[in-house]
Amino acid sequence: MAAAATKMVKNELLSHSDDDDTEENFSEDGDWGDWEEAGVEEDGDVSESDFLCLFCDAHYVSCALLFEHCRVSHGFDFHGVRKELKLDFYSSFKLINYVRSQVAENKAVDVKDVNFPWDDEKYLKPFWQEDSLLYSFADDEEEEDKEDEEGLDREGLIEDLQKLGDLSIDDVSINKDVTLISNKQSCVDGLVVVNGKDEEARVCDGRLAGRNIRKVNENYFGSYSSFGIHKDMISDKVRTEAYRDALLKNPSLLAGSVVMDVGCGTGILSLFAAQAGASRVVAVEASEKMAKVATKIAKDNKVFNDNEHNGVLEVAHSMVEELENSIQIQPHSVDVLVSEWMGYCLLYESMLSSVLYARDRWLKPGGAILPDTATMFVAGFGKGATSLPFWEDVYGFDMSSIGKEILEDTTRIPVVDVIEGRDLVTGPALLKAFDLATMKPDEVDFTETATLEPIESETEAKLCHGVVLWFDTGFTDRFCKENPTLLSTSPYTPPTHWAQTVLTFQEPISLAPDTVLAGADRSGAIGTEESPASSIHLRVSVARASEHRSIDVSLEATGVSSKGQKRRWPVQIFNL
């Protein structure tokens, strides 16, 4: 997905220049270490200094002058528009290309259009080959400090070396507790490709082997590795505050209760439970490292319970299935079971089976499980442009085989990405609802159908490139009587670290509301632009794969015409 791919590059580096592009010589910046700057000339005659107006033939030597001219003579305030619409580098880049292309076709340039007509992947490609404006418009804002930060002072350094002599620094606070913490999570996470505009999705950027991405950006090396993932989860306000509210705002449920936290991590949920007045909190954590961290944190917050301490919180380093080996606990003795077990696409990595085990073994009959419902939704997305255009011309070389490979991959590999409501071309449909208090463990494997319908207000056919999956979990009034709450990961609500899961169709399906389709008989295959479908029937199966904690998702789409004719595409299997 190009949208995904381009978002991977978090910083403003976009530019796939042509072979014979203007000389961009970065040697001029910064310091050069050993040699003198004297021998290096400035490239004064580069055509970078020549900018062509967006609307007329006027030439300018600086972007500032050009944009001022556009504002005064053409009524187009580029910087003003950028500020007002909060356009980032990419959007501005696209805006310029959009304007140029509209002007070339004598069409109107509409910056008030809330649909952001320039927000199309095609505008990432320079409209003009040698459009130096594209590479310089952002420079106005950066104060390019050209002065050398340091003409290496070798003599000075040698002098200092001699003066320093034996540098004896007190090893004041070598932390003796330093244990090598595994950062495996953050690096390993990266296998699920996640791209995002917001902080919350960064956890996945850290995982991007590349980038991004970042991020990838952001950091495919997991710049903030070891505890990055926990920081990201705790920083995910939507997530943490939903749990906090459920635990702290339902005193009739929590006060005096026995609580079990399955997969406690840093122990944040257990801390909330203790704060809410639980009489006993059992925090279960299978990772030795995190169990130690949770223990320390519980001690630091004076809620820890063991021979020496008199708190309510115990930490058990154990799998929940073997709990009785680690601590004293009777079956069916827990009043409230809480866990944050949800993975991407709800079920990936799913700890759910452990949670259900705990429910069936440790929870009292009628005891509370938080959350108590989980619901999966699906909707169709559009404009899922591929990154094909980028790979077709890389510094003058044809790397389209990579673009095709990526496209093929996305028809087999789910992509985790933040999708916005406006990227969707259909309304949402409910795919599967789980009642966590009563469901059987095998029910995590399911097959369900759903119908996607185009958005009624659409006035033309749209290409549906695939589907987006997301979930909600409810802390309903069944147990949370005072303050029921909902944790949603939908594209319509603020993004969470789960983002959404994208499954790309092998072939996009053209979709239009009946109002648009009404009238002339259309010939041609259903789902093509000549004969858009009026709805898409989906059949989705999710099953645990043989690979531990992995899931297989199968997706079968059938385009249905307004007359009821159908066209079915071959099933696609995705492994997550």
Decide: is 537 part of the binding site for other proteins (CB under 8 A): yes
How far, CA to CA in Å, does 172 sit from each of 167, 177, 216? 14, 14, 37
What's the gap between Cα 262 and its chain centre?
25
Distance from the Cα of residue 336 to its chain's centroid: 32
Q: Hey, what amino acid is at 113?
A: D
Per CB under 8 A, the segment of 326-334, 388-396, 435-443, 487-495 that binds other proteins is 388-396
Choose, from 349, 448, 453, 458, the residue flagged as catalytic: 349
Residue 214: beta bridge partners? Answer: 212
- Nearest distance in Å: CB 186, other proteins: 8
Segment 270 to 329, residues that bind other proteins, using CB under 8 A: 271-272, 275, 285-290, 293, 296-297, 300-301, 319
- Nearest approach, Cβ of residue 229 and other proteins (Å): 7
Paired residues of 339 in beta bridges = 262
Return the number of the residue (11 or 252) whose C-beta is nearest other proteins: 11
Asked if 306 contacts 228 with a C-beta cutoff of 8 angstroms, the reply is no
Q: In terms of CB distance, is 59 or 404 closer to other proteins?
A: 404
214 versus 280: smaller Cβ distance to other proteins: 214
Contact (Cβ atoms closer than 8 angstroms) between residue 568 and residue 505: no
Q: Decide if 147 is catalytic.
A: no
> What stretches of 196-327 adopt beta strand conformation (E)?
258-262, 280-285, 313-317
Q: Which of 348, 381, 470, 479 binds other proteins (CB under 8 A)?
A: 348
Cα separation, 75 vs 59, whole angstroms: 17
Supply the DSSP symbol for 343. B
**Per rule CB under 8 A, is residue 353 in the interface with other proteins?**
no
User: Torsion angle of alpha carbons 339, 345, 347, 349, nearest 10°?
Assistant: -80
Closest distance of CB 107 from other proteins, Å: 30
Q: Which one, 113 or 408, has the nearer CB to other proteins?
A: 408
Q: Report in angstroms how near the CB of residue 170 gets to other proteins at its nearest.
A: 5
Within positions 517 to 536, which residues make up the interface with other proteins, using CB under 8 A?
525-526
Q: Is the peptide bond between 371 and the residue preceding it cis, with omega within 30 degrees of 0?
A: yes
Give the β-pairing of 551-560 and 535-544: antiparallel
Between residue 85 and residue 144, which ones bind other proteins under the rule CB under 8 A?
143
Query: Segment 219-238, which members bind other proteins (CB under 8 A)?
Result: 219-227, 229-231, 234-235
Tokens of 469: 């999956």
User: What is the token pair recorded at 451?
Assistant: 């119908």
For residue 146, the minimal CB distance to other proteins (Å) is 8
Tally the residues of the chain: 576
In the region spanning residues 425 to 454, those forming contacts with other proteins, defined by CB under 8 A, are 427-431, 449-451, 453
Question: Is residue 349 among the annotated active site residues?
Answer: yes
Binding residue count for other proteins, defined by CB under 8 A: 163
Site residues (CB under 8 A) for other proteins, limited to 393-412: 394-395, 397-402, 405-406, 408-412
Question: What are the catalytic residues?
Answer: 340, 349
